[in-house]
Amino acid sequence: MRSGSDVSRVLRALARFAAVFVLLWVGFYEIQRSFPCLLTGADLIFQTKLSEESTPHLLKQADKTGLLFFGNSKALSGFVPEKFDSAMNAAGQPVESYNLGLPGYGYFVDRLASIFAAGNVPKYILITIPWTPDEHYGNVFHFVRHDSELMNELFPFRFLPRDIVMASSSAMFAHRPLDYYETNRRLVAQMIADRGYFLIYDADRFPEGRLPRDYKEASDEPTRVSERVATTHGREFRELNRLLETYRVTCLMIPTYRRLGQFAQPPPINQRVAAELVAYPRVQLLGPDYILLDNRYFADRTHLNRVGAELYTEYLADLVAPNLH
């Protein structure tokens, strides 16, 4: 049995540990808050997007139909709000859109509540990646659903030491201490000015900003249709539908894009998904699961270059315009 003095020593040690932990946490947090552009490219875009979407007045033109576009990095680099709004206006549907695609993160339902609560309530949201089915929820072996998201919440500065090293290395090679930081600052400012659109490219492998005409991947399956997986029998869909009903928002599920030859041409509509959505008027399926675009429209094997992004955006405007009411 432990004596009272033993318990006191343990408690004092725990208190000292907690104090040091809090001081370190606050210190790292303040460094990152004061120098946000120390983050590396994808992390910087990710954190900036999350900050923007939870800030009031993301949509600023009350006389136009608000529209938010969700998806992963393919959405981030594939949807150009300025081009979309121009095409929609020409079709007699004045809208104000914003690209909320995130690099490496296709989830969106878990973000909607905070976006709407901040006052950023559009009339429509566009999605290319469906909600998550129940099998991706936590269980006794993996009780955290999006563990990377939880780590970002608990330790938003967790990559700060790595980012400081990379910034220092970049500055050393450039012989300009602020080069890395200023370059990142300009990238973020441009992304915000472009309402969330951000060009992604692999300059080392494809310096001309487009894939070679004969580019292929060993994983390409040109005879297989990559069918979209979505079901209305799950908790995340119920949460999505609840939010849509509460805020009177309509969700339009639209095609993503693939390289020509990457997969086979899909049917004009996914009949299975369309049949499931009949009972849910707030969620509508438009077009095929994906469209196929030539290699010349891609900046790398996954993402569109600016010309490709504008082409894809125009396609979406033509698809969406007749379905806005």
Which contacts of 166-174 are long-range, i.e. CB under 8 A and separated by 24 or more positions? 166/40, 167/38
Q: Are residues 30 and 127 in the same domain?
A: no
Residue 2 falls within a domain, yes or no? no
Contact between residue 195 and residue 98 where contact means Cβ atoms under 8 Å apart: yes
pLDDT at 42 over 50: yes
Residue 205 domain-assigned? yes
Tell whether 18 and 100 lie within a shared domain.
no
Same domain, 24 and 80: no
Co-location of 124 and 13 in the same domain: no
270 is a domain residue: yes
The confidence score (pLDDT) of residue 47 equals 83
Q: Place 284 in a pLDDT band, splitting at 50, 70 and 90.
A: very high
Q: Please indicate, yes or no, whether residues 234 and 123 belong to a single structural domain of this protein.
A: yes
302, 266 Cβ separation under 8 angstroms: no
Domain membership flag for residue 153: yes
122 within some domain: yes
- Residue 159 in any domain: the answer is yes
d(CA 48, CA 251): 24
Q: Confirm whether 99 is domain-assigned.
A: yes
pLDDT tens figures, 29-40: 444 454 454 455
Same-domain check for residues 47 and 21: no
**Are 140 and 242 part of one and the same domain?**
yes
- pLDDT over 60 (residue 112): yes
Cβ-proximal residues to 200 (8 Å cutoff; 6+ apart), any chain: 73, 76, 77, 103, 299, 300, 302, 303
* pLDDT value of position 202: 74
| 128 and 19 within one domain | no
Domain count, the chain: 2
* pLDDT above 60 for 219: yes
Buried b (16+ CB within 10 A) or exposed e, 30-51: eebeeebbbbbebbbbbbbbbe
For residue 314, what are the contacts with CB-CB under 8 A and spacing of at least 6?
Answer: 83, 87
Same domain membership, residue 105 and residue 21: no
pLDDT of 140 higher than 50: no
* Whole-number pLDDT of residue 63: 93
Q: How many CB atoms lie within 10 A of CB 252?
A: 20
CA distance 102 to 68: 13
Task: Identify which has the larger pLDDT, 97 or 208.
Answer: 97
Q: Is the pLDDT of residue 119 over 70?
A: yes
d(CA 255, CA 3) in angstroms, rounded, equals 68
| Of the candidates 158, 159, 184, the residue with the CA atom closest to the CA atom of residue 171 | 184
Q: Are 307 and 299 in contact (CB under 8 A)?
A: no
> Pick from 320, 225, 309, 241: which is nearest to 279 by CA?
241
**Considering the chain, what is the average pLDDT of its residues?**
83
pLDDT at 187: 86
| Confidence band of 182 (pLDDT split at 50, 70, 90) | confident
188: its two tokens = 């973020």
* Closest alpha carbon to 167 in 26, 51, 49, 41: 41
Residue 279 DSSP class: T
Q: Are residues 29 and 48 in the same domain?
A: no
Residue 270 has pLDDT above 50, yes or no: yes
**Residue 91 and residue 61 share a domain:** yes
**Which domain range does residue 105 map to?**
39-323
Within 8 A by CB and 6+ apart from 125, the residues are 67, 68, 69, 70, 108, 112, 249, 250, 251, 252
Mean pLDDT computed over 263-269: 97
Per-residue confidence (pLDDT) for residue 249, from 0 to 100: 98
State whether 19 and 132 are in the same domain: no
Residue 151 DSSP symbol: H
